[in-house]
Amino acid sequence: MSVKVIAEVGCNHKGEMSIAKELIKVAADYAKADVVKFQKRNNRELLTEQQYNTPHPNPANAYGDTYGAHREYLEFNVEQHRELKDYCESLGIEYSTSVWDTTSAREMATLAPKLLKVPSACNLHFEMLGVLANDFDGEIHLSLGMTTQAEEEQIVDFFVKNGRAKDVVLYACTSGYPVAFDDLCLLEITRLTEKFGESVKSIAFSGHHLGIAADMAAVALGVSWIERHFTLDRTWKGTDHAASLEPDGLRRLSRDARAVSAALRYKSTEILPVEQVQRDKLKWRPKPNAVKAA
Ligand SMILES: C=C(OP(=O)(O)O)C(=O)O
């Protein structure tokens, strides 16, 4: 199976539908990603009163006077998400979103995308995981950044017990923006594959690093999905832009990930057809009538 690429828009649309649609169009037509992903939060449910009413910790990235107002500014409602999903479908790319609370999980399940994602931040929110397990038929993708190994086991056990583990895709992830290469710890992909590969559908990689070299290593380690943040301009205001790929980076990621994925196989026959041509032409063989060197 070829690796698939998720262009994670998250909140990089800056609260504007026109930018969200432009990101979808570029991801579909130019970069040829498989999925465009957004985020859905119910901020009143997710944040405490105090968090909601306190100013954003980094005023340079704030879109509102309080953290709550900032988050609301970046939020699309269910109908807007439906519009984005329809737009994705019209361009032949899958729509998805991550869900951050039970209300959002219920709301987004009604849109019935092929997959919904649980961000690292919310992977211990078992009530929300239960909503996905019970009310959503598609694949449940779940990131494992900032998660202990005991917590990982708890999460996988939860889905094994409710019979949904074979619909779960687990993402190796280091939560940081951006992540230095020596914090990427790509061999976690191998550890997760060895530990949970038989229990869940597959193992994937969610990256917040610079460039696309590490993604190629992740593909070589056997991941089924690569998720990367995507923006039109890395200098835009907001937390995720700097750790995002721009259109050309996403285009190269999709192209190269598919190339590496296609190359990652054993020879199906000892001499491949492409080699047979060269073998007939070039391969040294003893020649029965050759003149022996003196
Ligand atoms: C934050 C997200 O994911 P991750 O934990 O993989 O970065 C997300 O999907 O919204």
Nearest to 195 by CA among 227, 156, 224, 166: 156
The one-letter amino acid at 81 = H
Question: Which residue, judged by its Cα, is nearest atom 2 of ligand 1?
Answer: 119
| Pocket perturbation via mutation, ligand 1, pick of 175, 184, 185 by most ligand atoms within 8 A of CB | 175
Determine the distance separating the centroid of ligand 1 and the alpha carbon of 119, expressed in angstroms.
4
Domain ranges of the chain: 4-268
Nearest to 224 by CA among 176, 177, 168, 159: 168
Q: How many other C-beta atoms can be found within 10 angstroms of the C-beta atom of residue 86?
A: 12
**Cα separation of 286 and 254, whole Å?**
46
Determine the distance separating the centroid of ligand 1 and the alpha carbon of 291, expressed in angstroms.
70
Residue 184: partners with Cβ closer than 8 Å, 6 or more residues away: 174, 207, 209, 214
Locate the DSSP E strands across the chain. Answer: 4-10, 35-40, 94-99, 115-118, 139-143, 168-173, 202-207, 225-229
Whole-Å CA distances, 176 to 36, 123, 138, 164, 243 = 21, 16, 28, 29, 9
Q: Length of the chain in residues, anyone?
A: 294
Q: How many other C-beta atoms can be found within 10 angstroms of the C-beta atom of residue 234?
A: 16
Q: Is the CATH number of domain 4-268 3.20.20.70? A: yes
The set of protein residues with a Cβ atom below 6 angstroms from ligand 1 is: 10, 39, 98, 117, 119-120, 143, 145, 171, 173, 175, 206
Determine the distance separating the centroid of ligand 1 and the alpha carbon of 83, expressed in angstroms.
22
Question: Which residue, judged by its Cα, is nearest atom 9 of ligand 1?
Answer: 119
Q: How many other C-beta atoms can be found within 10 angstroms of the C-beta atom of residue 44?
A: 13
Q: How many other C-beta atoms can be found within 10 angstroms of the C-beta atom of residue 154?
A: 14
Determine the distance separating the centroid of ligand 1 and the alpha carbon of 5, expressed in angstroms.
14
Determine the distance separating the centroid of ligand 1 and the alpha carbon of 118, expressed in angstroms.
7
255: helix, strand or coil: helix
Residue 209: partners with Cβ closer than 8 Å, 6 or more residues away: 178, 179, 180, 181, 184, 243
ipTM: 0.98
Q: Closest ligand 1 atom to the C-alpha of 141?
A: 9
Q: Please report, in tens digits, the pLDDT of each residue of the chain (294 residues total).
A: 799 999 999 999 999 999 999 999 999 999 999 999 999 999 999 999 999 999 999 999 999 999 999 999 999 999 999 999 999 999 999 999 999 999 999 999 999 999 999 999 999 999 999 999 999 999 999 999 999 999 999 999 999 999 999 999 999 999 998 999 999 999 999 999 999 999 999 999 999 999 999 999 999 999 999 999 999 999 999 888 988 999 999 999 999 999 999 999 999 999 999 999 999 999 999 988 776 666
Nearest to 8 by CA among 199, 197, 201, 253: 253
Structure tokens at 181: 């290469």
The one-letter amino acid at 257 = A
